[in-house]
Structure 1
Amino acid sequence: MRRATVALAVLLALSGVAGCASVPGSSPVQILRDVTDGETAVLPPGPVDGTDAGGLVRGFVEASGSSADDHGAARLFLAPEAQDWDAGAGFTVLDSQFDTVPSPGAPDPSSDTTRIRIRGSSVGRVTASGSFEPEQAPVQIDVTVVRRNGQWRISELPDGVVLPLDEFRTSYRDVRTWFVDPARRVVVPDLRYLPAFPSRAQASRAMELLLAGPSGALLGAVDSQLDAGARLRSNVALTETGALIVDLTRVGDLDEPGRRLLAAQVVLSLGEVNVARVRLLVDGIPLITGRPELTREDVADLNGDVQPAADVPALVVAGGRLRGLGAGSAGSEQPGPLGNGAYDVESAASSVDGQRVAAVARSSGRRLLLVGGGADGGVAEIGLSAVDMTRPSWTPTGSEVWTVMDSTTVARVLVDGAGTPRTGQVNADELAAFGPIQDLRLSRDGMRVVAVVAGGLYTAAVTRSLDGEAAVRNIRRLRPADLGEVVSADWRSAEAVVAITRRADRLVAQVSVDGLSVQGLLVNNLTPPLGAVAAAPSRAFLVTDQSGVWSFAGGDQDAWRQVLGGAPDAVPFYPG
């Protein structure tokens, strides 16, 4: 990463002093109301008199979630000689189940000094940029405790914060910071985490995260209109009418499109912490001429978080044909050779606007890629052939379609011009190094892929060079211990994927893009093994089991509903 990894608390502590640099006298800024003042969190209780050594250490771990006053609540559990504990040396998130047990060979607890081991499993760590990096691994941390005046306190411990997942969810909230897709020149989200309290400090903290740049997961895939030297001239503040003043300096030279992109980055990032209006200034002057205050509606056209239109339906490949996905035992056949049986179709995908379709067809023991569009359903064979091909996936503009050939080669087809489609490769060597690539899906904003590789669930960024070459970088494996063998995956949103697995107790799981959270979906009336999955924002989940395609909308619905019967080989899909 481009910045050293230290605890999130250290970075956030800087937010309160972001405006301490001198303000040029030529354009003074009036601080009307400092939004870092205000309510404070209810701090966790300190140690309870009479608590045994193991209970004291457990209480310390649970209190570490409060970052207020340099983790002041956790410091109540420390003896005076341990008060130099550096909470900023690291931030590990534990699975919620952890133990505090006597360390092997520790002195008997009847003495006044002993050692306690914190024992559990990490799910990952929080970086200085407020992002979560997944890493499941065993954790064993020994601390020394002493008994003085009848009470145990921690006298020696390693630096850094260790926090259970449940406490992290209580003490921190997820937000999206927004950065620039350099190809489409729109802004896309990057998931981060902020302390939940005090809420009135979150605007300044969100700006600090934006100024810090993209997370490691999207490094090299996105840009920022904020130069590395950009900073706030003063603390963010509220006007009397409730607009948030954000005055930046050292932003570099920006043309009008660049200024609008910068406005979108700031306004959408602050919208995550409930800021409705922003008075966005550069050196005291409005960033956008004639628009002293901006709202999310003013930059909505630059939001690159693509969603399929509500009127573009789901489709399904079943029995070698492309069909609409309707109620009953069979969907309606689609027009053209993909629907009428001219090709033996195995899988397919439509562009996010539904105007183009790509399909993998079986032919003489091999696979062909077909691309087409239009009301007549016409398609053309692309010059790609392999023993196996994964289901296709489209970029948000509908100008590229990707597939994986023979589990190793990620191929892309450029169909953006009026001429013959061009084929090329994606540099996915880093991903293929983990094993055979069994499934790969582009996110609908085009900035990431989710892939199933040797039964593991992975996410990665899509980077593009100046000459247009694409690569898959910044690879993360998500929750292997909780998912087991993964069969297929799809994007629910820019922040979440859905996967089907071989685990009987978690056949369908929704996983955050960074791997922090994993949630199993109800599967009481599905017949495993499952074969395919499809998802999209605000759409029902679709899976294929041994009897056909099933739909689950969540909410009050307590069972899956069959939407296509007698099709155990079906592959449903939403646009994108």
Structure 2
Amino acid sequence: MIRRLTAALGCLLLVASCANIPEQTNAQVIQDSVARPQQKVELPAKDADAITVVRRFIEASGDTAVAEAYLTEEAKRLWRPDNQPTIIEDNFSTVPLPLEAGEDPNVVQRVEVKSTPKGRLDPHKSFRADVSQQNSNSTVKLVRQPDGQWRISETPNNGVLIPISEFTNHYRPVKLYFYDNTSREIPIPDLRYLPGTPLASASEIIGLLLQGPATGLQGAVRSALPPTAVQRTNVTPSRDGATVVNLGQLGNLTAEEKRAIATQIVLSLQDVSATTVRLQVEGLPLVPDQPDWKIRDIQSDSDQTTPKAQLNGLMVVGGQVKDLRDGKPINNPAGDGTYKVESAAQSVDGSQLAVVERLANNDLALRIGGMGEGLRQTPVVGKEMTRPTWQYAAASNEVGNEVWVVADGTINRVVRSREGPWLTLPVNQSEIDPYGKITDLRLSRDGVRVAIVAGGKLYVGAVVRSQGNTSVVIAEPKPLLPSISNVVGVDWLDSSRVVVATNTPTGPVWQVPIDGIEAQRYNQANLTLPLTSITAAPSRQNVVTDAVGMWTATDIGQVWLPHPLSQSQGPNARPFYPG
């Protein structure tokens, strides 16, 4: 009933809005995407006891059209399944509870649901991990219906608990795209989850895109779409098979702004739309000379943040920087032994090198320079220092100009000045400080996120830069592997996933999405603890160093194989890809 009322209200709103649509716009019926056919599960069995009804309700909660069959008519009216649903582990308990005074067990039953929350979907449809790691207990009330069947009359907060397997079956991950909050036009993925079988609704994707970035990225990214923009009609297929997106209230836009909007929309729809996206404003083409867009029309600037194929990776071993492919020292003082190198990082474009040098007094110092030249010592010196990490170059004709490193617990942002010297600028790390000592830090290759190992745990936060790049804050760091407390290293597999090395015997290496919803464990075969380092990059093998040497693997289930240089370089090698 609630869905019929929603659909009717939607039709009334559409009729009311048609007066504002110009004659050239073909109004489309805005469909209720939640009411689309979905995979069905078993409906309530006749004469099922209260415990069974509650269990089947939770197991069916990924498909709200099925789950509501377990509710009374009054409960259906109050139920809010889309209001920040909680995702729980698959194993949950349902146990009977004592009744309250005066309640008849033949009329009323109460059941306690004991579950382990993984997190919830926020209003932006982003997953927010539960950091408490504590079990949750909630009460469900049932009443016997006139036909003798038990039905649920009260759910916790009128919401829904969805087991992770059901969530995976009935919700689809969708990457919305925004832009980094600097002058650079780098598309940044923003992961959301929408109901849909087999695909999420394109209209819902556009609706979320118009709402802007999720909470965790606000201030770090921006939208090319103006805040006044609206969706005039539902996203629908045209007769010739194109996906039609019709917007309104965009205002006066430059050609560059229109292209940025096109890029943002086409990238966000690439997993759910036809091969062609027809972009319109009030029924007319967004770009007059290009009404239709394909992925190949989008020259994504994200290539700036992907290391070129010819960059094979490097490693630090025996105080020298060597080529990861053939083991030869690089042609640089960092390779010939002039510096006693402890760790290093190569810029994304491959032209620059940053190294942590062990000084004669046993202090550590950061040096930076070109790959084919001597490296200049920067003001960063300390007793302890993490391996460096690079911010990508601002433009294709520029070299890397910003390195981050943690020295004695303080994050240093080392920036090349116009005059040439490297200057140290602060980073506001107040939100990460409570989590403990930082032992590894990696900027994402698009520069918008940062992965941090602090107190033995893994966190990912947003890099929020003010206008002019004068102030930088690590915002909203959240744990990605809350149950593992001995993380030793992390690197970015791509812009939406990290790989993590731990000294946990049951799971040494993990692949984790940036929202942490469900980590995947790599094969454990052949690895010998302790692990000491890890590196990853798009379209490359993951490389880890353990107690024996270096090992490589590409896929989750693949057995780790010895790196060709494993025996010659031993367990002291520290491999790294550009970034």
Greater shift in the superposed pair: 517-526 or 41-50:
41-50
The Cα of 1:51 is off from its aligned counterpart by 2.5
Q: Equivalents in 1 of 2:573, 2:124: separation in Å?
A: 42
TM-score, normalization: structure 1?
0.90
CA distance in 2, matches of 1:195, 1:306: 31
| Aligned-pair CA distance for 1:167 | 0.5
Structure 2 Cα separation of the partners of residues 429 and 537 of structure 1: 31
> Pick from 146, 154, 158: which aligns with 1:156?
154
Distance 1:427 1:532 in 2: 27
Does residue 567 of structure 2 align to residue 572 of structure 1?
no
Question: What is the aligned counterpart of 1:113 among 92, 108, 112?
Answer: 108
* Residues 530, 106 of structure 1: alpha-carbon distance in 2 compared, 3 angstrom cutoff: farther
Separation (CA, whole Å) in 1 of partners of 2:354 and 2:7: 46
Quote the Cα distance in structure 2 between the aligned partners of 1:23 and 1:346: 69
Moved more, 214-223 or 50-59: 50-59
CA separation of 1:512 and 1:556: change in aligned 2, threshold 3 A: closer
Does the Cα contact within 8 Å between 1:321 and 1:333 map onto a contact in 2? yes
Residue of structure 1 in register with 2:59 after alignment: 62
Q: Which residue of 2 aligns with 1:7?
A: none
Within 5 Å, give how 1:493-512 maps onto structure 2: 493-512=494-513
Q: Helix, strand or coil for the counterpart of 1:263?
A: helix
Give the superposed CA RMSD: 2.7
Closer, same or farther: CA 561–259 of 1 in aligned 2, 3 Å: same
Task: Check conservation: 1:18, 1:234, Cα contact below 8 A.
Answer: no
Identify the residue that residue 224 of structure 1 maps to in structure 2.
223
SS of the counterpart of 2:520? strand
1:80 to 73, 79, 88: 73
8 Å CA contact 1:440–1:451 kept in 2: the answer is: yes
5 Å matches for 1:251-290?
Answer: 251-290=250-289
User: What do residues 428-481 of structure 1 show as CA deviations (whole Å, max 9, x unaligned)?
Assistant: 121122221111100011110000111111000011101312211121111312
Cα deviation 1:170-205 (Å, max 9, x = unaligned): 001111101111321232111111112363x61111
Corresponding residue for residue 126 of structure 1: 121
Partner of 2:397: none
Cα distance in 2, alignment partners of residues 270 and 360 from structure 1: 43
Q: Which whole-Å deviations, capped at 9, do the CAs of 1:261-283 have from their partners, x for residues lacking one? A: 11111111111213321211222
State the alpha-carbon separation in 2 of the partners of residues 293 and 87 from structure 1: 37
How far does the alpha carbon of each residue in 1:361-398 deviate from its partner, in whole angstroms, 9 at most, with x for none?
Answer: 11122111011114x34311112101111111111212
Q: List per-residue Cα deviations over 1:276-313 (Å, max 9, x = no partner).
A: 21211222332223111111222223446832111111
Q: Secondary structure at the match of 2:167?
A: helix
- Residue 18 of structure 1 and its aligned partner are, at CA, apart by 8.7
Q: Which residue of 1 aligns with 2:93?
A: 99
Q: Secondary structure at the match of 2:528?
A: coil
Could you tell me how far apart the structure 1 residues matched to 2:449 and 2:286 are? 31
Counterpart-to-counterpart distance in 1, 2:538 and 2:211: 29
The 1:302–1:323 alpha-carbon spacing in structure 2 relative to 1, beyond 3 Å, is closer
Q: Distance in 1 between matches of 2:403 and 2:13?
A: 44
C-alpha separation between the residues in 1 aligned to 2:457 and 2:443?
17
Q: 1:438, 1:453 within 8 Å by CA — same for their partners in 2?
A: yes
CA contact (8 A) 1:35 1:203 kept: no
- Which of 40, 48, 51 is 1:51 aligned to? 48
Q: How does 1:373-388 map to 2 (within 5 A)?
A: 373-374=370-371, 376-388=372-384
Q: Following the alignment from structure 1 to structure 2, what is the Cα–Cα distance between the partners of residues 244 and 233? A: 14
Cα distance 1:509–1:557, how it changes in 2: closer, same or farther (>3 A)?
closer
Instruction: Work out whether residues 30 and 233 of structure 2, in 8 Å CA contact, stay in contact via their aligned partners in 1.
Output: no
Encode CA deviations 1:518-543: one digit per residue, 9 max, x unaligned: 11111221110111111111211111
Instruction: Pick the aligned partner of 2:364 from 351, 362, 367.
Output: 367
Amino acid aligned to 1:196? G
Q: How does 1:301-316 map to 2 (within 5 A)?
A: 301-303=300-302, 306-316=305-315
Partner in structure 1 of residue 396 of structure 2: none
Assess, with a 3 A threshold, how the Cα gap between structure 1 residues 185 and 298 changes in structure 2: closer, same or farther: same
Percent identity, please. Answer: 37
Partner SS for 1:300: coil
The 2-side partners of 1:388 and 1:167 are apart by: 46
CA distance in 1, matches of 2:451, 2:340: 27
SS in 1 for 2:338: coil
Describe the SS at the equivalent of 1:489.
strand
Q: Show CA shifts across 1:17-38 (max 9, x none).
A: 9966235464521257978789
Q: CA deviation at 1:87?
A: 2.3
Q: Does 1:172 align with 2:171?
A: yes
Matched residue, 2:235: 236
Residues 526, 559 of structure 2: 8 Å contact kept: no
Gap regions ≥5 residues in structure 1: 1-9
Q: Is the 8 A contact 2:21 2:232 kept in 1?
A: no
Task: Describe the SS at the equivalent of 1:48.
Answer: coil
Kindly provide the CA deviation profile for residues 44-81 of structure 1, in whole angstroms up to 9, marking residues without a partner as x: 22211232222211110111111xxxx23111111234
Corresponding letter in the other structure for 1:127 = D
Distance 1:44 1:556, change over 3 A: closer
Count residues in correspondence: 556
Q: Determine the C-alpha separation between the residues in 2 that align with 1:14 and 1:370.
A: 64
